A and B are shown apart, each in its own frame.
Chain A
């Protein structure tokens, strides 16, 4: 299931990241293709989350972090001069491992991003809210309770709400860090379907510990180990004929 378009959306060049003395990413060179799903796999602590956070600069909030190398997004360096991080993060949305809706109403959760980016008109906000919730396949479940607290939803619903909240800012890339690891199998499959649908419009990078999930939804798979990108190829190739022994060991479960 190779992606239908091969346009490059994002590229990292010799990306190194240090947490103080800990060398967490060691020279990552990787392309993310437009309108494809890229899965990041690898044992715990290998740097998947760290890598993901370099792409929308969420690492900026950690004081000890030092980064060298480049992240090129549509030809512009994410770590270059004069980058407006708020615009970057609007363009590169993120969904976290455990659902984290704000303690506000469902409506206000979705409208948060657009409001922060200057949208004030009620009518437009209404539209954005409906569109985002529909895209995240949760509109029917919540349309009668938009004014109710988002924390009253189930975990799976909350996670789809968070995806909707992310879509509301009209991102081009979605970063998802183990978005289904806190969910039951039914919620998980709903979100997997959703992710698969979203690929039509968005470029998606997803971290997962679930090999079947990576195989099911992704077009490309990257295998990380100890801060290095060991192998990166189409998901088909990685799962049917990995070139590196370590990759094979990992996906067949003989490792980590």
Chain B
């Protein structure tokens, strides 16, 4: 080892392969950006005019959706979408986090592995199958409740919510589990050494420390729930009226496939308008979550 190696490059500049690859990566990145920009533009161009024509206020806050009569108020659908999604997330969050805790901390390895496989399977089932099961099993069950309360029997908000819960649970569980597992063991040791019980160490230290990961799970779950149409169509009853828990509801998403085939003219434009509203809503939710996530990051107190 008497000779030392020179670190001056033999060839000046980047090699041809490297340059081509860089270009390729740049192109791929640009494609994604172009797609998003183009989609946004297209949604605005397609959905904008009808909103302008009906009037923003009448479109967004109008209570009546009656295309034959040229009444295009989507307020009931907005409220129903928020109610179904919000309800689903509120139910799925505690369940999901508890299952995640069980998987990450309490379950024996073999049981955890089996459960995890099942949950992954759940995530892969097509949504129309959920809709089918909901329509066959869940909705008739709720019919009983409706009859008992002397309400008309129909598909309803509760059924839509519960179907969404089942659909977003796998996401919330697996993202939360990953987050809880990523919490350093030192935190839990410290908690135990201070005289916490195992459960106290989990609920007072590990879960708060995994907060940002769990919030990411909520974001993903919310996105999935608010965008879901197929399963919801089959259990929700689909009447465009203000939602009640046991009454039929129609969400923003479901209006589009339900009416698409027979719509034309302004009616079809109005469906574009709904698409735009959905688009904006999802963007808004994403932004809000992102902002709150940044503000109340993982290392914030309590």
Contacts and interface: CB of A to CB of B under 8 A. Distances in A.
Interface stretch (A103-111, A193-201, A222-230): A103-111
A108 B302 contact: yes
Interface SS of A by simple majority: helix
A253 B228 CA distance: 70
Nearest to B188: A61
A88 B158 CA distance: 49
Interface residues of A, number: 33
Contacts of A104: 208, 301-302
Contacts of B190: 96, 100-102, 162, 165
Nearest to B210: A103
Contacts of A162: 190
A149 interface: yes
A87 B193 CA distance: 10
B187 A100 contact: yes
Contacts of B205: 102, 112
Contacts of A89: 192-195
Contacts, number: 76
Given A58-B189, A102-B205, A90 B301 contact: no
B192 A105 contact: no
Contacts of B208: 103-104
B206 to A, nearest CB: 10
Interface residues of B, number: 22
Contacts of A115: 204
A203 to B, nearest CB: 16
Contact of B298 (A94, A103, A107): A103
Interface SS of B by simple majority: helix
A50 to B, nearest CB: 14
Contacts of B299: 103, 149, 151
A90 B195 CA distance: 5
A89 B191 CA distance: 10
B194 A165 contact: yes
Contact of A113 (B195, B197, B298): B195
B195 A117 contact: yes
A122 B249 CA distance: 47
A166 B302 CA distance: 20
A116 B189 contact: no
B68 interface: no
Contacts of B189: 58, 61, 96, 100
A86 interface: yes
A147 interface: yes
Please list the 5 inter-chain residue pairs (A to B) with the smallest Cβ-Cβ separation, ordered nearest first: A105-B301, A90-B195, A100-B186, A94-B193, A89-B195
Interface of B: 184, 186-187, 189-197, 200, 204-205, 208-209, 298-302
5 contacts: A58-B189, A61-B192, A104-B301, A113-B194, A116-B200
Interface of A: 56, 58, 61, 85-90, 93-94, 96, 98, 100-105, 107-108, 112-113, 115-117, 147, 149, 151, 162, 165-166, 169
